[in-house]
Copies of this chain bind each other. A is one copy, B any other.
């Protein structure tokens, strides 16, 4: 019978002079305990990033769609954990078939405490990839379609490319290095977001064609403080995301990883701020926030192999890049990404992956490749994952579109998804100009 009499046990131990443990606790168990609490702690932090994403996406879109965004973030995680439990983990970490795909451990069959620990740490990464997409597809996607998408990315799209890189698959074999997932997690989410945004089309009124010339309009986010809170929460979670990816509670490089993560994020925020200041005349809050995230995404691949100064450079470039990318997608390509997810996660994820080749300590990377070779392999990995995600999500979102399950109708969009998809309002009682 399990009682919560832990204190007595504790006391007994103290009195018993340690003999108890000398018998009980071996060095391997100590090592195991470090890894356990470190990874579960880190997993909890990465879990909280769901809240971060939810707040960022809610804050940067309009009030009339807030409840819908929230629902998407809640349900992509909920659907995702079941999918990753049933199928995703097996495809990612099951015994490899030719370095392409995992083939066993469906429903976590045969799992022991090590597998549960690793599953717990991995599932929150899978959910991160999935949730990135909701931001780019915000304010116009059908809820049911989104649920289906969540299922597929968590069960198959993310795990398979993840297998190539993190489970000893073909890219790993070639020496591709992605420490905590600039490509595995962020680019996968970012490219899926891009395909989704393109197939959906822009929000009504975003790009207005007047006499052959397209005018770009802004739909300002309705709650900047909430978005900022989300950014801080994401940054916090990133200490689990990156430092946890040492995968070991005894790795002395935990501190190194935390340091490079911090510096890159700071540099990203600063550079994005200055870029927006120079470009638009004022330091833009939401761009600066995107910059911090860009710095975080950028250093994710190389947090362990890039040194602090390198991290600052990587972050700074990511910070500038994210502003340029947002501008380019919006003003030139007219791809409507309400929160900048494609730029933050797709583009800066790719940049960070490449940066491993450019700035990484090759000895630590340990692939045996030359610098040029490493850069080449990194580029190959970026390209392979891009291709994989674009093709699969084209099929996925394309099918949804074909059966009319992708985009809500015009009136639904104008009224807001909260009312049309969920029959509720998110800010009941507040006077809001919901038509804007």
Q: Are A253 and B113 in contact (CB under 8 A)?
A: yes
A402: chain B residues at CB < 8 Å are: none
A221 to B267, CA, bound (A): 31
Interface pair B13/A28, CB less than 8 Å apart: yes
Asked if A423 is at the interface of the complex by the 8 Å CB criterion, the answer is yes
A166 CA / B45 CA spacing, docked (Å): 29
Known: A1-B365, A253-B113. A82 touches B429 (CB 8 A): no
Docked pose: A76 CA to B239 CA in angstroms:
19
Decide if A179 is an interface residue (CB 8 Å cutoff): yes
Return the chain B residue nearest A256 by Cβ.
B116
Closest residue of chain B to A369, judged by CB?
B1
Q: Which of A202-210, A277-285, A325-333 contacts B (4 or more CB under 8 A)?
A: A277-285
For A235, the closest partner residue in chain B by CB is B47
Smallest CB–CB gap between A270 and chain B, Å? 5
Interface residues of A in 409-425 (CB under 8 A from B): 418, 421-425
A266–B79 touching, CB < 8 Å: yes
Answer whether residue A358 sits at the interface, using C-beta atoms and an 8 A cutoff.
no
| Inter-chain contact B263/A116, CB cutoff 8 Å | no
Q: Which of A79, A115, A245, A262 gathers most chain B CB within 10 Å?
A: A262
Binding site secondary structure of chain A: helix
Contact A430 B428 (CB under 8 A): no
Considering only CB atoms, which chain B residue lies closest to A311 in the complex? Answer: B85
Known: A4-B166, A289-B74, A430-B431. A55 touches B225 (CB 8 A): yes
A119 touches B259 (CB 8 A): yes
Which chain B residues border A47 with CB–CB below 8 Å?
Answer: 235-236, 239, 262
> Among A30-38, A193-201, A346-354, A379-387, which stretch is in contact with chain B?
A30-38
Q: Please state if A283 and B232 are interface contacts (CB–CB under 8 Å).
A: no
Q: A357 at interface (Cβ–Cβ under 8 A)?
A: no
Set B18, B44, B224, B243: member contacting A28, Cβ < 8 A:
B18
Of A64-72, A133-141, A334-342, the segment with at least 4 beta carbons within 8 Å of chain B is A64-72
Residue ID in chain B nearest A243 by CB atoms: B40
Q: How far in angstroms is the closest Cβ of chain B from A6?
A: 4
CA distance A422 to B43 in the complex (A): 36
Q: Residue A252 at the B interface, CB < 8 A?
A: yes
CB atoms of A118 and B248 under 8 A apart: no
Contact partner of A113 among B67, B117, B255, B422, CB < 8 A? B255
B-chain residues with CB within 8 Å of residue A421 when the two chains form the complex: 282-283
Contact assessment for A262 and B35 in the assembled complex, using a CB-CB cutoff below 8 Å: no
Identify the interface centre among A10, A113, A118, A247: most chain B CB within 10 Å of its CB.
A10
Give 4 A-B pairs besides A22-B28, A47-B239, A79-B270 with Cβ atoms closer than 8 angstroms.
A17-B28, A36-B254, A71-B288, A281-B423
